[in-house]
Amino acid sequence: MMQIGSTVPSHNLDIFQERFSVNCNGYSVKPITKACLSKTSMKTTSLPRTKFTRKHLSNLERLIGTEPEVIQLEPKVSADNGLPEAESRGKGGLLEGLHLPQIWPENKAAEEMSPRQLNRLQRLLSKNGMEYSPRNSLASRWREYHGSNNWVGLLDPLDENLRREMVRYGEFIQAAYHCFHSDPATSDKEAPSPRQVAIPDRSYRVTKTLYATASVGFPDWVDKVAPDLEWMTQRTSCIGYVAVCDDEREISRMGRRDIVISLRGTSTCLEWAENMRDLLVKIPDQSGGQPKVQCGFLSLYKTSGAHVSSLRESVVSEIKRLTRLYEGETLSITVTGHSLGAALALLVADDLSTCAQGIPPIAVYTFGGPRVGNRAFAKKLSSQQVKVLRIVNSKDIITRVPGMFVSEELDKKLRESKNMNVALNIVDNTMPWAYAHVGTELRVDTSNSPYLKPDADVSCCHDLEAYLHLVDGFLASNCPFRSNAKRSLVKLLREQNSNVKKLYTSKAKGLRLSLDTSKSKGLKLNLERNMQMSNCLPSPS
């Protein structure tokens, strides 16, 4: 027998009778009159037995309620073969047949949450660690994945090996953020002590901590007013690190020993102040061009602190040391950064490419990076064989500044005209805000995520974890978010809860999501396994 629970409230009964149409493995609950549902006229009607009937009826009872009242049913017969539609069409989706949005239009998103999707959401929320795409061998194609051909044929659709590499390099940046925020303060009176960096990929070993120093500073009285926030006004701060792969199996898998330079984004007041100094200034170039870069970025890159070398000096000296140490081996250099770190990554790559003879191939992976220099700077990097892959969120405004030309597409179209190209080249060499992006672009979009709100705020669109979430789900420019995305939603929910769709935050609560403090691992996600299917139905107003 087909039974519907009495949990449907009486004041919604008319809507239920008129609009509710269930397709349960081929059986249709047709609209019926009030008289049919009255206690005096309700009668049990037997249904043809199939091997699926009991299972699906039991599922539906759990979905809607446990104390049944009986309604009449008729098996829907297929016009093609005269068999019940359940047998001619096969297994149907319970929630898809319920048409919940027609009953409660204000909760249309509830239709998206099928039992399979709920199970998947529970799986993504229950991960304490991270799950990755398959770790395949890159040895035979490592130069291609490192950008030797500018990633042609690997981005759209996105190659699964490249996706994994991008997410991995993004997590190197997260480690740089964590290193800073766990101990942000530095002293002007003494050299900073060695820092512990928790790299997620244990096959790498940190060889040097990197610091950046602002060329400007606040008066001393500022620190006296707010002594607890002294780190926000300090000139020198930890901005990243250099790490080298030391695991022989990983070296064999990647086809080379990889050296990573990881740089975080803006975190202090003086770093923000440097970001605002957006005039272009010249940098040396032996080719006779006029490459220029943003004044503030260059200042952070080249300024020395009271007891630390400049970022430029630290990186160049460490890379020279490592290339001498591993001389004779196949090496690669990967520079990765987010936001301000993305800008500094380009300056680092520019210097490394010319700092010594025999420098290994250099690739740059940036997330949410701003424009850094003019078109001559972009050409300079290209001529030095620096390969740059920019991961850009279409909704991230940081990727559109600084510069006069907000639209890269418009600039490209204008340059197709010979006369306009000549005029724009003059602008590039003379105007102080004639910026241009560098390298190859992979464009993702917040609105493509099934979990994030399409109108997510600026902080979410620029957030590094949101970037990694989008990269992990990206298939191709004309494809939806991939259904088998690997990355856990725990950190995304924790950092961007207000920008996650209400449907999923409510499901997280429904799954009894709780954050417990752990002595050794910080925040750990615990989920209660008992998941009630009846929670799918919204409470009637």
- Enumerate the active-site residues: 339, 396, 462
Cα(340)–Cα(210) distance, integer angstroms: 14
- Three-state helix/strand/coil letters over 421-466: HHHHHHHHHHCCCCCECCCEEEEECHHHCCCECCCCCHHHHHCHHH
Strands 386-393 and 440-444, sheet pairing: parallel
Residue 332 in contact with residue 360, Cβ under 8 Å?
yes
Q: What is the DSSP letter of 22?
A: -
As a whole number of angstroms, the distance between CA 394 and CA 441 comes to 11
**Cβ atoms of 297 and 219 closer than 8 Å:** no
Q: Pick from 303, 335, 305, 308: which is nearest to 319 by CA?
A: 335
Look up residue 311 and give its two tokens.
Answer: 């970022």
Which residue pairs, CB below 8 angstroms and at least 24 apart, start in 134-139?
134/160, 134/164, 135/164, 135/253, 136/160, 136/161, 137/253, 137/255, 138/165, 138/253, 138/254, 138/255, 139/252, 139/253, 139/254, 139/255
Tokens representing residue 211 in the block = 């610091």
Cα–Cα distances in angstroms (integers) from residue 254 to residues 443, 472, 497, 522, in the given order: 26, 20, 36, 31
E strand or H helix at 494: helix 490-495
Phi-psi region of 215 (alpha: psi -120 to 50; beta: other; left: phi over 0): alpha
Which has the closest alpha carbon to 63: 114, 9, 107?
114
- 454 torsion bin: left (phi>0), alpha (psi -120 to 50), beta (else): alpha
CB 315 within 8 A of CB 306: no
- Beta-carbon-side half-sphere exposure of residue 423 (alpha carbons within 13 Å): 8
What is the DSSP annotation of 29-73?
A: -----HHHHSTTT---------TTHHHHHHHHHHHH-SSEEE---
Angle at the Cα of 282 from the Cα atoms of 219 and 306, rounded to 5 degrees: 35
Angle (CA) 489 491 497, round 5°:
85
φ, ψ of residue 68 to 5 degrees: the values are -80, 150
Backbone φ and ψ for 39, nearest 5 degrees, come out as -65, -25
